[in-house]
Structure 1
């Protein structure tokens, strides 16, 4: 009976993308064997927290502080409970002026409120992480943030795009929430703002709250991104432009932005039914834990399209 129950559990995990089990890994680009394993749900929330920060032009250090705080407060789960009236990723309290319960439960909003308070901390980028986080959170256990700094730093390096091809996920793209290009574009707009779909990358709006990712938001995203996705008109592909930079660090900034978008797509693969992500001559394919797929690999030279080897665009292929 025990074996039968275990087999049934494994089947359910396989069919539902194993949302309760470890399915994603981020590794250090320094080849020092540092890594952090986490679930697809945590990956989506980490990607959102990072995107909201970078869309505001905040440095990687701000993202690291935010991710370490969310790891301590909720283990990067959007929980509906906590101490007294605390809620969400950052355990923010409606009674303390953080917003309504519904808004706090929106990860995009919650991350934005955290950053609003963080940037008001003088010299926060130079402070120890525990001090910066505590100035925002006012926690009863301020030293607890420190133990999450190494994992948060790995996540921030990958999700801001500084570390290339360091975030991978295994497992089937989840069927619980249907995806497709429309859902991918709506989620991109929700996390990064509408500028993410513009070829020039010019910022013209703040990220859209998750609760506002409605048909109206999707239509706006599709209109804004029509030129960007012209190259992916097969009904399954979203082609994201990576805006050209300027100055001596232009190439580096373009690649960093491209890897941020590519890692965002991998982190959201289960939620958005993404099967393949391609950037700069490398590809990630969804697969099952233990297989070679689910990791970044170099594209085969034969038959590879020029666009798939370019650093000027990220290609995201959905299951439908």
Structure 2
């Protein structure tokens, strides 16, 4: 009898171990699929050419991932965080959720950064909001002394307290490439091909304005635009122009940050055209060069047009 009981216990342990492996595999596969349950093929590309940030480097992602990456970047720069902070945040989200806003994870972890309500990160509803969860990550990062000079794994771990801190390291090259584009340091670097480029139904410029304000804060648009007063299909986002001879690159970076954000949002917000600094992006066609028509001296804007 004791031998039989012992054998039964061993079988139960084996079954339990097998179930745990299957559960872990199921969780991994779930992360690879979007919320609709179907494989979401890569439709956004960021690429660095030879000589620009080292050897040629390309990163592909789905539209949903691009939206989340652009949101993480926008929340960081709006808080005054440097590009290095955005790189750390993106690498963390790449490891924790592959840039997908998932409603499951280890124990009670949810969201882009797999933050846990039981550990004080907020409610599930709050954490599932990418703007909120990115903001909480940056809050934690800002409290890490000298985070910009620390190895990425150390800085991320000080915020996340993960069981596998070295896992963040493998995402640093991709995160740095994304951050360079999404913070606007590299012009016309993000190209997306929305699946809805030829879909029926117009876009909503008021929604574009609302999402701009959510990601970048109220100051991103003039008061009238932020309130959604205009019925125009085009949203014009003012960008200050660099003064000649100052060497200040903040203005063009801001413009390209906004332009890339709009391209990333092209499917979600039915954006069909984005223009900035003589470059035009069109859904299904990508970027092309075009002379700035009608631009007044001392002014510039990112033009975002929704589908009609």
What TM-score do the two structures reach when normalised by structure 1?
0.77
Is 1:222 the counterpart of 2:245? The answer is: no
**Structure 2 unaligned spans of 5+:** 1-35
Rg larger for: 2
CA contact (8 A) 2:210 2:226 kept: no
SS at match of 1:307: coil
Q: Which residue of 1 is the match for residue 293 of structure 2?
A: 305
SS at match of 1:139: coil
CA contact (8 A) 2:182 2:261 kept: yes
Number of aligned pairs? 267
SS at match of 2:236: strand
CA contact (8 A) 1:279 1:311 kept: no
SS at match of 1:171: coil
CA contact (8 A) 1:19 1:40 kept: no
Q: Please show how residues 1-320 of structure 1 align to structure 2 within 5 Å.
A: 20-28=40-48, 30-31=51-52, 32-173=55-196, 179-198=203-222, 222-223=225-226, 235-244=232-241, 248-250=246-248, 252-287=249-284, 293=285, 295-299=286-290, 301=291, 305-307=293-295, 312-320=300-308
CA contact (8 A) 1:89 1:110 kept: yes
Distance 1:309 1:27 in 2: 32
1:55/1:145 CA distance change after superposition, 3 Å: same
What TM-score do the two structures reach when normalised by structure 2?
0.80
User: 1:249 deviation in Å?
Assistant: 3.3
CA contact (8 A) 1:27 1:34 kept: yes
User: 1:37 deviation in Å?
Assistant: 0.4
Q: Which has the higher contact order (CA 8 A, sep 6+)?
A: 1
User: 1:308 deviation in Å?
Assistant: 10
CA contact (8 A) 2:188 2:287 kept: yes
Distance 1:121 1:278 in 2: 38
Distance 1:151 1:177 in 2: 35
Distance 1:66 1:141 in 2: 16
CA contact (8 A) 2:234 2:303 kept: yes
User: 1:248 deviation in Å?
Assistant: 2.3
Q: Deviations for 1:146-202, whole angstroms, at most 9, x for unmatched residues?
A: 00000000110000000111110113446699632111101100100010003xxxx
